[in-house]
Amino acid sequence: MEVKEKTGKDRSGVLKRIAGPVVTAVNIDAHMYDVVKVGNEELMGEVIKIQGEDTIIQVYEDTSGIKPGEPVVNTGLSLAVELGPGLLTSIYDGIQRPLSVLVDKMGDFIERGVSAPGLDHQKKWDFKPLVKEGDRVSPGSIIGEVQETNIVHKILVPPNVGGGTVKNIKAGSFTVDEVVCTLDSGTALSLMHKWPVRVPRPVQEKMNPTIPLITGQRILDGLFPIAKGGTAAIPGPFGSGKTVTQQQLAKWSDAEIVVYIGCGERGNEMTEVLTEFPELEDPKSGKPLMERTVLIANTSNMPVAAREASVYTGITIAEYFRDMGYDVSLMADSTSRWAEAMREISSRLEEMPGEEGYPAYLAARLSEFYERAGLVQTLSGKNGSVSVIGAVSPPGGDFSEPVTQNTLRIVKVFWALDAKLSQRRHFPAINWLNSYSLYLDTLHDWYDKEVSPEWNVIRSWAMEVLQKEAELQEIVQLVGSDALPEAEQVTIEVARMIREIFLQQNAYDAVDTFCDMSKQYDMMKAIRSFSDHAYAAQSAGVTPLQIIGVKSKNDLPQIKFIKDYKPELERILKAMDSEFNTLRSSA
Ligand SMILES: Nc1ncnc2c1ncn2[C@@H]1O[C@H](COP(=O)(O)OP(=O)(O)O)[C@@H](O)[C@H]1O
Ligand SMILES: [Mg+2]
């Protein structure tokens, strides 16, 4: 109680002022980001500002009805998550309370002040040690494993605990609290540990990502790839396909673990996620996708501060699985809701507003978040990665607003959704002219080796055709396509094929929903082959009308929907050859 004597304060104080999610307490000894219990109902909150006598707290639960004079108690702890077996398949709120436990405790209507641990503390897990007595372990070392779902959960020495020599280690069935290993230093290790969410988990080294996160989405893998350990943003107006894209990534990206943070765009959207996600099947294992997923859900009736917390909770869980040596992909849908939460809290704090009312630290918070992505060498010497993909929902689809602009400065991949494309039912409605990937150079060798030495060439070719089309479109709009030189009429046709055959992809078709790189390459090559024939024919005197009339190419789009497409593709290519031969010989 040394502190008390010095300051006249101790861990409990009283409430002075309540302003929505932000409350002020006095006479409490607190540090930044201490977790406090607010009011008679002990609502959970976090210290976000200390100003003279006043301690300002953001509360993760609805504060209506709480009155000045009610008690406030500082736990002296930081907001932390429980990390251990039981994370997978879980659905949490922003402060890692399992929604199922909340619902059991109080029915569908979430009451306040309910505390529920993130992990099940009764359940027993079979622990298999991987070290033995006398072995030396250090922070972040793997001491054993638990078969959690079809994922092996590695048990780590917590990164913030000193290492030492293993004095004792047990095999068998344990709860997450039971000691499975002791070190000569006296440190006792169990299957779980806690980690403060605002502190990035340490790694040995961050590395330059050189392998793409393959998503099976042609416009992403083919034109604008994200690296494993990379960052990407999907901005787009309402209804343009942010959620569908994020869910496609959750289902199909070749990450081993998925962390999905839903921030409730519309009223019922999270409800949809909550009912739909558990139904989704993991296309690789045929088992429920939830077996390798942790879902964090903020419904729109949850207070804004919980959204803030959910982002940190999610990224910390992602880092934890990365530390086991896994590739993790984290989706946040939508980061705009998080930014709005920051704006609301900031305005309650009466801080000087920055652009459009967002706090001046918006950019810093966003970059701290995305910087937690990366391909790393873990403390135990393995490679692991966290890829972060954030949706952004700019009001009215206007990309010049602060959240989109600040995100753009940080992330390396930009998948710009476009309302005009979604209105035309061109899906995914990603605009190929303003999207980009800054990983093309670092991924170049991978595509060269793993797909084909021709891939990078054909990709550049396709981008050129699409850009050329955009220029030509301006002319076409003025004078009509017949006024274009014949070669450029061919270009327009080839660009149309790239868009309609390659770029358009139906997330709801059983086959087209996922397209591997070798099929992507075959499809692009087929279009290229048409293009080569077409220009050759054109210079030999065949008219654009005849070229556009080549029938066999009309069968190309069907390739998307055929699983074993190769025989059909071969047939089309042969037919195309012979059609062009006929055209040229009669030209
Ligand atoms: N890749 C896709 N394939 C087919 N339909 C899509 C695709 N992307 C989006 N859509 C259509 O657009 C609708 C809106 O998408 P959604 O992801 O909910 O938008 P947002 O999250 O941006 O508001 C979907 O319900 C679906 O009909
Ligand atoms: Mg959405």
- Three-class SS of 261-300: EECCCCCCHHHHHHHHHHHCECCCCCCEHHHHEEEEECCC
CATH code for position 491: 1.10.1140.10
pLDDT, position 2: 35
Give the number of other Cβ atoms within 10 Å of residue 12's Cβ. 15
* 507 vs 514: CA distance, rounded Å: 8
From 380, 413, 440, the end of a domain falls on 440
Question: Is 446 inside a domain boundary?
Answer: no
Domain hosting residue 478, numbered range: 451-585
Position with higher pLDDT, 114 vs 438: 438
Question: Is 22 inside a domain boundary?
Answer: yes
The answer to whether 157 touches 141, Cβ cutoff 8 Å, is yes
pLDDT, position 5: 41
Question: Is 103 inside a domain boundary?
Answer: no
Query: By C-alpha distance, which of 227, 245, 248, 241 is closest to 411?
Result: 227
Confidence bin at 269 (pLDDT 50/70/90)? low
CATH code for position 42: 2.40.30.20
Q: Does residue 153 share a domain with residue 259?
A: no
* 87 vs 317: CA distance, rounded Å: 8
* pLDDT of 350 over the 60 cut: yes
Confidence bin at 3 (pLDDT 50/70/90)? very low
Out of 107-111, 412-416, 427-431, 538-542, least confident range: 107-111
Question: Is 104 inside a domain boundary?
Answer: no
* pLDDT of 7 over the 70 cut: no
Give the binding-site residues of ligand 1, using a 6 Å CB cut-off.
236, 238-244, 422, 427-428, 506-508
Question: Is 113 inside a domain boundary?
Answer: no
Over residues 139-149, mean pLDDT: 97
pTM for the full predicted model? 0.94
Handedness of CA 316, 154, 206, 89 (dihedral sign): negative
Q: Does residue 263 share a domain with residue 360?
A: yes
- What digits encode the pLDDT tens for the residues 401-439? 999 999 999 999 999 999 999 999 999 999 999 999 999
pLDDT, position 61: 86
What is the 245 CA–ligand 1 centroid distance (Å)?
Answer: 7
Count of domains observed in the chain:
4
Give the number of other Cβ atoms within 10 Å of residue 134's Cβ. 9
- Helix, strand, coil content of the chain in percent (nearest 5): 40, 25, 40
Confidence bin at 159 (pLDDT 50/70/90)? very high
Name the token pair of 432: 């190929």
Q: Does residue 256 share a domain with residue 345?
A: yes
Question: For residue 423, what is the enclosing H or E element?
Answer: helix 419-423
| Atom number in ligand 1 closest to CA 241 | 17
Q: Does residue 233 share a domain with residue 324?
A: yes
* pLDDT of 6 over the 50 cut: no
Q: Does residue 432 share a domain with residue 519?
A: no
Give the number of other Cβ atoms within 10 Å of residue 565's Cβ. 18
Q: Does residue 458 share a domain with residue 433?
A: no
Q: Does residue 424 share a domain with residue 305?
A: yes
Q: How far apart are the first and last CA of the chain?
A: 98
Long-range interactions of 434-440: CB distance < 8 A, separation 24+: 435/219, 435/223, 435/224, 436/224, 437/223, 437/224, 437/225, 437/226, 437/412, 437/413, 438/412, 438/413, 439/209, 439/212, 439/225, 439/226, 439/227, 439/230, 439/412, 439/413, 440/225
Name the token pair of 190: 């169990």
Question: For residue 345, what is the enclosing H or E element?
Answer: helix 335-348
Over residues 270-276, mean pLDDT: 73
Distance, C-alpha 294 to centroid of its chain: 12
Q: Report in angstroms the alpha-carbon separations of 28 from 20, 33, 37, 58, 74.
A: 20, 14, 12, 15, 7
Position with higher pLDDT, 71 vs 271: 71
What is the 429 CA–ligand 1 centroid distance (Å)?
Answer: 8
Confidence bin at 458 (pLDDT 50/70/90)? very high
Label each residue of 571-587 as H, E or C.
HHHHHHHHHHHHHHHCC
- What digits encode the pLDDT tens for the residues 548-559? 999 999 999 999
What is the average pLDDT value for the chain, to the nearest integer? 92
pLDDT, position 487: 93
Strands (E), 393-543: 413-414, 436-437
Give the number of other Cβ atoms within 10 Å of residue 360's Cβ. 12
If one residue of 421, 427, 561 were mutated to test the ligand 1 pocket, choosing by the most ligand atoms within 8 A of its CB, it would be: 427
Q: Does residue 346 share a domain with residue 464?
A: no
Angle, vertex CA 73, rays to CA 71 and CA 77, nearest 5: 165
Give the number of other Cβ atoms within 10 Å of residue 532's Cβ. 12
pLDDT, position 479: 85
CATH code for position 276: 3.40.50.300
Question: Is 390 inside a domain boundary?
Answer: yes
Over residues 341-354, mean pLDDT: 90
Q: Does residue 485 share a domain with residue 352?
A: no
Q: Does residue 581 share a domain with residue 545?
A: yes
pLDDT, position 264: 64
Question: Is 68 inside a domain boundary?
Answer: yes
- What digits encode the pLDDT tens for the residues 119-131? 999 999 999 999 9
* 176 vs 163: CA distance, rounded Å: 20
* 32 vs 105: CA distance, rounded Å: 31
CA nearest ligand 1 atom 12, residue = 241
From 388, 414, 440, the end of a domain falls on 440
The answer to whether 115 touches 101, Cβ cutoff 8 Å, is no
The answer to whether 14 touches 71, Cβ cutoff 8 Å, is yes
CA nearest ligand 1 atom 23, residue = 239
Residue type, position 574, single letter: K
- What digits encode the pLDDT tens for the residues 55-64? 999 998 889 8
* pLDDT of 1 over the 80 cut: no
List of residues 6+ apart from 142 with CB closer than 8 A: 130, 131, 154, 155, 156, 324, 380
Q: Does residue 368 share a domain with residue 224?
A: yes
- State which residues have CB under 5 angstroms from ligand 2, the bound ion: 242-243, 265
Question: Is 483 inside a domain boundary?
Answer: yes
From 416, 440, 464, the end of a domain falls on 440
CA nearest ligand 1 atom 6, residue = 427
What is the 261 CA–ligand 2 centroid distance (Å)?
Answer: 12
- What digits encode the pLDDT tens for the residues 176-186? 999 999 999 99
Out of 88-97, 162-171, 262-271, least confident range: 262-271
* 276 vs 533: CA distance, rounded Å: 46
If one residue of 218, 219, 243, 244 were mutated to test the ligand 1 pocket, choosing by the most ligand atoms within 8 A of its CB, it would be: 244
Q: Does residue 51 share a domain with residue 179?
A: no
The answer to whether 417 touches 423, Cβ cutoff 8 Å, is no
